[in-house]
Structures are given as structure tokens and as C-alpha cells.
Copies of this chain bind each other. A is one copy, B any other.
Amino acid sequence: MNNPLNPHVLISEVGPRDGLQSVKATMPTADKFRWIDALVAAGVREIEVASFVPPKLLPQMADAAEVVRYGKQKAGVTIMALVPNLRGAENALRAGADKLTMPVSASTAHSLANVRRTPLEMVEEVRAIARLRDELAPHVKLEAGISTAFGCTLQGLVPEDDVIRLAAACIEAGADESGLSDTVGYANPAQVRRLFRRLKEEIGDRAGAAHMHNTRGLGLANCLAAWDVGVRTFDSSLGGLGGCPYAPGASGNVVTEDLVFMFEAMGVSTGIDLERIVAARAPLMQGLPGEPVYGMTPDAGLPKGFRLAA
């Protein structure tokens, strides 16, 4: 059962999208390709490679279509793209993305700041995207990621009922799955367990990924909490690159290297080779000279006698 060919958890690498869009420098397309190569070589099976937004808003993502097409050559790897609206979805579908992820914020204040629409307007956008997907590429999966699900730097508290209702509305509107994102690093393990349990009660198997940040150091503890209540897909970012450019105070996605170490040490197979995932930092750092990368496992090395979950 615990077999690298049939891993227990899916680590969804979001660095090439979430990471790159949050830094000022633009990684050259050729470096993105080398980074994707290294991620795939390490065993990563799902990569969020780009965001389909106007290049004048995020020049880092101007090569989104090209990067999706490159990623598509990798057999057995799901190439994801973030789409903030119908136009972005159309471009992502035409580029050949395997899976779309649409951020839908549970905080009205954050939603307006991020995409200039209310949460309910975003549900209607999900509906329009689902329809377009049905026409253009019915095999493509559509995820609605509920952002600021654990609190918001602008609004503060986000009622749990709002989060669950919004996730259910996205599924009703045609999304295949809905996950919860701690966009600004406010989540705590008790809240993570409570909300993912409620999400599962509400939408069952359509409950999606845990997208945690490490802003206050709780990233891995929150992933553990999500794992405890049955979450099996985890977003993370190599070197902890990332954040949200429109949410003040947001910083630091969960570090892929440390997350993989935690699960493998627990005997939970990720399908990812730890030495190779650490090696995948080289093309990242080459493509973003001087940009800080985070993570403890790469510096500390593996414990003496450590073995991957098998």
C-alpha cells in the first residue's frame, strides 16, 4: 500500500506560479523549463506552472502559455494553471492545461482587492468557466481554491460558515473540487481540523487540497492537522517561495522540501525523492539570482540511516 508508485499523498508544487508571481524579478522562460525538469525528475506529479493574468499585471507570467505547453510534454504529470477569470481560463484551456485552479476568496475585502469581484460574483465566474471547460476540453479538471479560508489581513475573522457555504457553491457551480487556502498564514491546527472536517461533511470526496503558508511557522503543523482529518493533497512551494502580492503580510508557502521530509519520515509516501527535490533548488536559484529561499531540511541534511517511505 505504501508504494512510491502509488503514494499516500499528492504534493502539488505551486512554486512556478505562486512563488514566481510573488517575487519582483521575472524568471527567464528557459530557467522555468529547467526548474520543471528538475521537479519532474524528483517525482513531483502535479505542478502549478503559471497564472493566466494580463502580462501588464504580472509580467512574471507573460510566458504562461509557453510554460504550460512545455509542461504538457511530461508524461504522468498534471499541469495546473491558475485562472482568475473566464478570459484567463480560455487562454489556459487553449494552451492545454490539465487542470485549472480558480481562487475564490471567502473574504469580500480580499476578493475585491485581489480580483475586484465579490465572492458571489466569483461563483458565477466559476460557473462560466465550468461551462467553457465542458465545451472546449471536458477532461480538464476545475478546482476552486477558497482563499483567506482561515482569516484575512484586511477583514480579520472569516466566518467558518461563509467558507463552507462558498466551497459548496463552487461545487454546485461546476467545480470538480474545492480546497482551502491559508492565504495569509493565520491558520492553526485546531481550525484546520475543524474546517476540513466540515468541508468533507459538506462536499465529500470533492474536498480538495490544503494550501498552507508558513507565515507564523505553523505551516507543517497545519499540514499534519489536515492529514489527520483525511486531506491527501498538499500545496507547497520549493524553497518556500511565495505569498500573495495583494494580501499585506502574506509570506512564505509551506516549504516542499520540509513537507516531503515530514511525510516520508512518518512513513507516508509522497513519491518524491528527497535528494532530488533538494537538487531542484539549483535551477530555481539560478533563475532568480539573489532571491532568498527557505527550508530547514536542505541545510540540516537527512538523518543518519534515513530511508524514504517504501
Contacts and interface: CB of A to CB of B under 8 A. Distances in A.
A120 interface: no
Contacts of A156: 303-305
Interface string A180-223: 00001110111100000000000000000000001111101101
Q: Is the interface of A mostly helix, strand, loop or mixed?
A: loop
A301 B255 CA distance: 20
A214 B184 CA distance: 22
Contacts of A57: none
A186 B304 CA distance: 9
Interface in A244-269: 249, 251-252, 255, 258, 261-262, 265-268
B301 A262 contact: no
A297 interface: yes
Contacts of A191: 265-266
A281 to B, nearest CB: 15
Interface residues of A, number: 44
A164 interface: no
B304 A214 contact: no
Given A217-B255, A261-B216, A303 B151 contact: yes
Q: Copies per complex?
A: 2
A153 interface: yes
A261 B185 CA distance: 12
Contacts of A251: 300
A295 interface: yes
A99 to B, nearest CB: 28
Given A186-B303, A267-B190, A296 B217 contact: yes
Contacts of A301: 249
Contact of A217 (B151, B186, B216, B220): B220
A224 interface: yes
A215 B300 contact: yes
A217 B258 contact: yes
A282 interface: no
Given A157-B305, A217-B296, 13 more contacts: A151-B305, A188-B262, A189-B266, A190-B266, A190-B267, A216-B262, A217-B261, A217-B262, A217-B297, A218-B265, A224-B224, A228-B228, A249-B301
